[in-house]
Chain A
């Protein structure tokens, strides 16, 4: 059971906006560790999407944005496209576990 909780699935129509939440605790996000997000397209390796809560690596479209507040974080995707369909994971560090931790993942379906 991961200390980072994500909804199992979200969906939206092309062009719409979706938000994926990542809820942590006072031993990870709440103690100040940043949240990072990864995109995993079907059959592919994970790819860094957002780092340090809200920063996009070079090449990531600005349709993807991140935010963090207290013990939770969110990934927003605007202007949904069919190629966004896949799994999205949040990641942080947990003091109690002394481990890098991932959320359980959220499957994004573009209707």
Chain B
């Protein structure tokens, strides 16, 4: 079955760290770029981070640069998001999404999301 399953969310204090995971199955994970997209409670979608199919390049939304790190393990078919120095405004559901499209990328497969709550 083609799917993405996130895990690792939870409640964390401001300034602490958390690592999210996304398990891919049913497709050739190593052939696809991947994204993390988040959605704050009651708000819209926001792109967070992007990693090339081979992990050679990564890109980040400005507010998370220097704090978040996207990585992948193609042997294990896993995508990760290491989040440090967490802030209240990072509270959101975090989705992993598969990236397709040669010029104008779009996201054709999404996980169910994992909730991160940053609160003291």
Could you tell me which A residues sit within 8 Å of B by CB distance? 2, 33-34, 36, 38, 40, 45-48, 51-52, 57, 87, 89, 91-93, 97-105
By size class, the interface of chain B is: 20 to 34
Contacts of A89 in B (CB 8 A): 44-45
Given A48-B108, A51-B108, verify A98-B59 contact (CB < 8 Å).
yes
Alpha-carbon distance A52/B107, docked complex (angstroms):
11
Q: How far is the CB of B49 from chain A (nearest CB, A)?
A: 10
5 contacts between A and B (CB under 8 A): A34-B101, A45-B110, A57-B108, A102-B46, A103-B44
Query: Known contacts being A45-B113, A47-B110, A98-B59, is A92 close to B104, with CB within 8 Å?
Result: yes
Extra contacts, 6 of them, besides A36-B104, A92-B104, A99-B47 (Cβ < 8 A), are A34-B106, A46-B110, A48-B110, A89-B44, A93-B105, A99-B59
Inter-chain contacts of A40 with B (CB < 8 A): 45
CB pair A52 B101 closer than 8 Å: yes
Interface members, chain B 1-58 (any A CB < 8 Å): 35, 37, 44-47, 50
